[in-house]
Amino acid sequence: MGLLESSVPDEAKDALEDETMRPHFAETLEGGVIMIKEITVGNWKSFENATFYIDPLTILIGANASGKSNLLDTFLFLMRIASNFSISQAINGDVNLLPIRGGFEWVCRKPYDKFTITVITEKSEKQDYQYVINCKVNDAKVDVSYEALSILTQSGKKKQIREKFLFKTAEDESDSPGLPTYFNTGTQGRGKRIDLNRSHAILFQAETLNLRKEVVDAVKKILNELRSIFVFDPIPSHMRDYKPFADTLQSDGSNIAGVLAGLESQRKEEVEKALTHYLKDLPEKDVKRVWTEPVGKFKTDAMLYCEEGWGTEKYEVDARGMSDGTLRYLAIVTALLTRKEESLLIIEEIDNGLHPSRAKILIDMLKTLGLKRSIDVVVTTHNPALLDAFGNTMVPFITVAHPEERTGSSLLRQLEDIEQLPKLMAGGTIGRLSTEGVSM
């Protein structure tokens, strides 16, 4: 059997699940476009082996130290290694890049020195792409130990999965620092060998190589989807100052005014109108308008403004006078309105600063805007009011993070897979169950 037809090595197998072709619940969120379907982590931070399924709107719940943040760091890592950062930079950061929480020391579950991440993304109705990266942590750096990209095809009544490798690495017989990588050429055998750098993802390096079209198309698609991941944690205190015009929203939402002011005039009008529409129901006061204006002598900075009313009175406030909840909500809506279509938006503790009575407004906005702009949204929360606002129809889209009782490693379980769920829900709401704790 040729290298490109063989199975993945043991260290990568440990991170794979049997249900790589899991159906998603698109009928509940009709019209949703799913890009990345699932991510499996092996010995990543607090996880031994867990799979996270992604739908148009996915909710991750769990108590403190349950593994939610560790899972979100997986997405940040994948985005970085697809975007010209070395494996070491992606984890430990540099002078211009914040490290992933814990850095080298905590990126692997103790006592291991390797971790594996597997990404499944849709190719067609019965085919998926599977991307696997396994990295080894040394004292001062992290290198690629194994990496592969393949096509998974579902066939037959038993829905068997056939795997076809597009590229795959192999250990070199020599002491060369390069990592031998074999690329599919459409013929039998090991494929075309190219020795590549262990310090960067093979997927990223393959983008500039002269390869077979089938391989090039797959590499470009996976890179595009990983680069489209946006891990967003808007911090209201960072949004209250004047900001220069900008094309891209920063991960803390600090330059929201600059992004809005930098839009082309017609697009700016459309986005600000949409912001006003979604903000109207949030505060007790009536919001008449949300907009940005250039400020300063050279008109290269911008400030965010809002016109509010109470009865017959109207007055204008800038970002310095807006509440934390209003600014955070505006930042989330701005991200959904300005990020490119067919991307993935991840928001930790989605309801921070928001009054529980406004939970349903937030959920409706996420559903409506996410589907309208084909942006998949992943959110974390432990707010019972927010969980209740999701309603029982969202149960298939809720994943619970919790520690395994014996080892303490983090586990992921879909809420609908809990055996006693119907009985438990008969006695109360999802929010109450999350507050009192659900036996896994």
Domain membership flag for residue 165: yes
Inside any domain, residue 182: yes
Query: Does residue 156 share a domain with residue 263?
Result: no
pLDDT above 90 for 240:
yes
Q: Say yes or no: 48 and 176 in one domain.
A: yes
**What pairs with residue 127 in β-bridges?**
124, 153
Domain shared by 166 and 38, yes or no? yes
Residue 430: which pLDDT band, with cuts at 50, 70 and 90?
low
Residue 309 backbone phi and psi in degrees, to 5: -140, 155
Q: Is the pLDDT of residue 424 over 70?
A: no
Integer Cα distance of 229 and 76 in angstroms:
8
Per-residue pLDDT, 112? 95
Nearest 5°: CA angle at 363, between 370 and 235?
85
State the pLDDT confidence band at 419, using cuts at 50, 70 and 90: low
Query: How high is the pLDDT of residue 62?
Result: 85
pLDDT at 440: 45
Does residue 52 fall inside a structural domain?
yes
- Claim to verify: residue 154 and residue 244 sit in the same structural domain: no
Instruction: Give me the amino acid identity at 382.
Output: H
Residues 179, 51 share a domain: yes
Average pLDDT score, the chain: 86
Residues 209 and 140 in one domain: yes
* DSSP label of 42: E
Of all helices (H) and strands (E), which one includes residue 142? strand 142-155
Residue with tokens 């619940």: 25
In sequence order, what are the residues at sequence separation of 6 or more whose Cβ sits closer than 8 angstroms to the Cβ of residue 334?
Answer: 249, 253, 256, 259, 260, 271, 275
Cβ atoms within 10 Å, residue 423? 9
180, 196, 228 — which closes off a domain? 228
Question: What integer is the mean pLDDT of 196-205?
Answer: 97
Given 206, 228, 250, the domain boundary residue is 228
Give the per-residue pLDDT at 284: 59
pLDDT score for 320: 94
Tokens 């499996």 correspond to what residue? 40
Residue 439 lies in a domain: no
Task: Verify that 267 and 150 share a domain, yes or no.
Answer: no
Of 29, 141, 13, 111, nearest to 376 by C-alpha is 29
Question: End of a domain among 189, 211, 228?
Answer: 228
Contact, 47 vs 410, CB < 8 A?
yes
- Domain range for residue 245? 234-323
Q: What pLDDT score does 17 carry?
A: 40
Query: What distance in Å separates the CA atoms of residue 72 and residue 379, rounded to the nearest whole number?
Result: 10
pLDDT tens digits, residue range 138-159? 878 999 999 999 999 988 777 7
213 and 264 share one domain:
no
- My answer on whether 219 and 244 are in the same domain is no
DSSP 357: G
Least confident of 1-5, 227-231, 404-408: 1-5
In this predicted structure, the answer to whether residue 303 has a pLDDT above a threshold of 50 is yes
Residues 191 and 241 in one domain: no
Residue of higher predicted confidence among 280 and 230: 230
Does 343 have pLDDT greater than 60?
A: yes
Task: Verify that 300 and 208 share a domain, yes or no.
Answer: no
Pairing, β 114-124 against β 127-137: antiparallel
Number of domains in the chain: 2
Q: For the ranges 124-133, 141-150, 328-337, 419-428, which has the lowest average pLDDT?
A: 419-428
Q: Which of 121, 99, 80 is nearest to 204 (CA)?
A: 80
More confident residue, 79 or 285: 79
18: Cβ contacts below 8 Å, ≥ 6 apart: none
Smallest Cα–Cα separation from 114: which of 9, 197, 231? Answer: 9
Residue 278 in 3-state DSSP?
helix
CB 234 within 8 A of CB 333: no
Domain presence at residue 210: yes
Q: Examine the domain organization and report whether 240 and 113 are in the same domain.
A: no
| Residue 411 belongs to some domain of the structure | no
Pair of tokens at residue 9: 């090595």
Domain presence at residue 103? yes
Q: Is residue 354 part of a domain?
A: no
Distance CA 88, CA 94 (A): 9
Confidence of residue 3 (pLDDT cuts 50, 70, 90): very low
pLDDT higher for 31 or 201?
201
Looking at per-residue pLDDT, the higher value among 180 and 1 belongs to 180
Which has more pLDDT, 65 or 101? 101
* Residue-level pLDDT at 13: 46
Closest CA to 256 of 270, 281, 237: 237
Element (H, E) at 128: strand 127-137
**Can you tell me the mean pLDDT for 210-225?**
97
Averaged pLDDT, 107-119: 96
